[in-house]
Amino acid sequence: MQSLRDTIAADLRTQITAGHLKAGARLPSEPMLAAQYKVSTPTLRNALALLQAEGLIEKIHGKGNFVRHPLRRLTYTGGRLTPDVDLNVTIHTTNVRAHGDLIPLLKVPSRTPLTEFLYLTHRRESPHSLARIYVPQDLALAEPPRCRRPGWAETRETVTARLPAPEEASALRISSTLAVLAITRVSSDTTGRVVEAARLVLPGDRANALFITHLTTEERGTEG
């Protein structure tokens, strides 16, 4: 027998998939929905959390719950997201000091001056990805970094699937139970100095990561 939470989620899911609740539509307030389904507010919120985790609705702080537009999956490859033709990007720049795990990540002393670039990409009103890029201030360019630059000799990327931190879930408007792809990218120059460290967070319901391996001549020979 279905729980009340699952029954409510199933009913709202059917209304969304059938088009009775259209993309961009605001759902009735949580107290109104709780009264409509004759359940407590916590039970109603649990049902909404299921739909949020499925990517069917999103909760916007201070505005309410909205039906999401169909999600478009993006692919992370070569240090960037594709396709990006319909994505908007907001960028905030802050001066910070190296602290915590930024110190070993960038291989700099504690409190080294850094420039932090905070990227939030979104399609229409829906956030799609979050990135924080750190560059030593003596290397920071006038324009925010967007992709690989001349002089980079090596880029290492570590990909982890995990649950989002509270501030990540809030910025991306996703459920705290929806897994994200967390990518840590560290780039070095020809001298081995770290010139940029990036942390990217991609919701698992709308992102793929693609990695391409090119074999050297020696490696091709050993395969034969």
- 101 with 202, same domain: the answer is yes
What type of residue sits at position 64? G
Q: 133-155, pLDDT tens digit by residue? A: 999 998 866 566 665 566 678 99
Q: What does the CA dihedral 56, 167, 180, 67 come to, rounded to 10 degrees? A: 10
User: Which run of H or of E encompasses 208?
Assistant: strand 207-209
Q: What is the CATH number of the domain that holds 200?
A: 3.40.1410.10
- 84 with 17, same domain: the answer is no
CA distances from 117 to 106, 131, 143, 210 (A): 15, 8, 10, 24
Q: So what's the pLDDT on residue 160?
A: 94
Q: Are the CB atoms for 180 and 204 separated by under 8 Å?
A: yes
Where in the sequence is the domain holding 79, given as residue range(s)? 74-209
Q: So what's the pLDDT on residue 77?
A: 82
Q: How many CB atoms lie within 10 A of CB 34?
A: 19
Q: 91-136, pLDDT tens digit by residue? A: 999 999 999 999 999 999 999 999 999 999 887 777 889 999 999 9
- 60 with 88, same domain: the answer is no
Q: What are the 10-residue block averages of pLDDT along the chain, 224 residues in total?
A: 90 92 92 94 93 85 87 77 76 95 96 95 82 90 61 86 93 86 93 93 85 66 56
pTM, rounded to two decimals: 0.71
* Beta partners for residue 198, in sequence order: 133, 185
